[in-house]
C-alpha cells in the first residue's frame, strides 16, 4: 500500500519546484533519469515553469504516460505539446507507442479523471496490477468528446516500477474520488494502482 502525503492548495510554482528537487536528487546518483508525465491541461503551465529551471535537461528523458493515437502535430497529441515545451531546453522526449519498452522511471507524475482513471487506464479497460504488457492500446468508453481517439497507455506494472509517484489533482469532486481510493472504498483504476504501489506518493490537490 502506498505511503501517501497530501499537499493541499499548492501553486504551480511549488509543484514545479518539487519536481525539480526530485529530479536533482535522482540525478545525484544516476547519470541519466527518466520521468513520465501526464497530458491534459493541468501540467502544461507547470512544464513552462520547469523549462526555465536549472535542471540538466539533456540527462532527462520525458515519456508521456499516455497519448492519443494521432500525429504529433495534431492538437490532441500529448507528446507533440510536451516536445514543444521541453525539447528546446534539451530534454529527450520519447513518444509512447504500442511497441515501446518503458524504462525505470525516477518519478511518475500522474493525473486522475473524475471517473478514477489514470493515464488512459479508464474503468472500462479493467486495468490489472499484474498486466504482462508494459503498454496497452485502449479505447475509452465513453470516448471523451474533446478527444475521441483510441489511446496508448502505460500499464499499472510500468507505473508501479517507478521510484516515486506524484499526483496533481484539481477539484473537490476528484479529491473525494482519490480519498475513497486511498481508503480502499472503490475499485477504480487509481485505487488498483495505489493498492499495488509500495513507495512514496505525493498528491497535490
pTM tops 0.75, yes or no: yes
Candidates 39, 30, 22, 15; CA nearest to 154 is 39
Please calculate the CA angle 34-70-73 and round it to the nearest 5 degrees.
80
Would you state the CATH architecture of domain 3-204? 3-Layer(aba) Sandwich (3.40)
Specify the residue for cell string 483504476.
Answer: 189
pLDDT above 80 for 191: yes
Report the pLDDT averaged over residues 79-91.
Answer: 96
* pLDDT tier at 147, thresholds 50, 70, 90: confident
Per-residue pLDDT, 41:
85
Confidence of residue 2 (pLDDT cuts 50, 70, 90): low
Is the pLDDT at 109 greater than 70? The verdict is: yes
Reference 170, options 203, 194, 143; nearest CA is 203
* Mean pLDDT confidence for 181-195: 96
pLDDT given for residue 1 in this prediction: 60
pLDDT tier at 111, thresholds 50, 70, 90 = very high
Mean of per-residue pLDDT scores for the chain: 95
pLDDT in tens, 39-48: 888 999 999 9
What's the rounded mean pLDDT across residues 92-105?
97
Mean pLDDT of the 166-188 span? 95
pLDDT, residue 145, reads 84
Indicate the domain borders of the chain: 3-204
pLDDT above 70 as % of the chain: 99
Residues 60-73 have a mean pLDDT of 97
Count CA atoms within 13 Å of residue 108 on its CB side. Answer: 29
Amino acid at each position: 500500500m502506498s505511503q501517501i502525503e497530501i499537499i493541499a492548495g499548492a501553486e504551480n510554482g511549488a509543484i514545479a519546484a518539487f519536481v525539480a528537487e526530485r529530479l536533482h536528487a535522482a540525478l545525484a546518483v544516476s547519470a541519466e533519469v527518466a520521468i513520465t508525465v501526464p497530458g491534459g491541461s493541468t501540467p502544461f503551465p507547470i512544464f513552462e515553469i520547469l523549462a526555465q529551471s536549472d535542471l540538466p535537461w539533456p540527462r532527462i528523458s520525458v515519456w508521456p504516460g499516455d497519448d492519443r493515437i494521432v500525429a504529433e502535430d495534431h492538437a490532441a497529441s500529448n507528446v507533440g505539446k510536451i516536445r514543444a515545451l521541453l525539447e528546446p531546453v534539451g530534454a529527450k522526449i520519447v513518444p509512447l507507442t504500442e511497441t515501446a519498452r518503458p524504462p525505470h522511471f525516477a518519478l511518475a507524475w500522474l493525473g486522475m479523471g473524475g471517473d478514477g482513471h489514470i493515464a488512459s487506464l479508464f474503468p472500462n479497460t479493467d486495468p490489472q496490477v499484474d498486466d504482462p504488457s508494459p503498454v496497452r492500446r485502449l479505447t475509452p468508453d465513453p470516448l471523451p468528446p474533446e478527444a475521441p481517439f483510441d489511446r496508448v497507455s502505460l500499464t499499472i506494472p510500468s507505473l508501479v516500477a517507478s521510484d516515486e509517484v506524484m499526483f496533481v489533482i484539481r477539484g473537490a469532486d476528484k479529491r473525494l474520488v482519490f480519498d475513497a481510493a486511498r481508503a480502499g472504498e472503490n475499485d477504480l483504476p487509481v485505487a488498483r494502482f495505489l493498492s499495488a504501489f509500495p513507495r512514496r506518493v505525493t498528491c497535490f490537490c
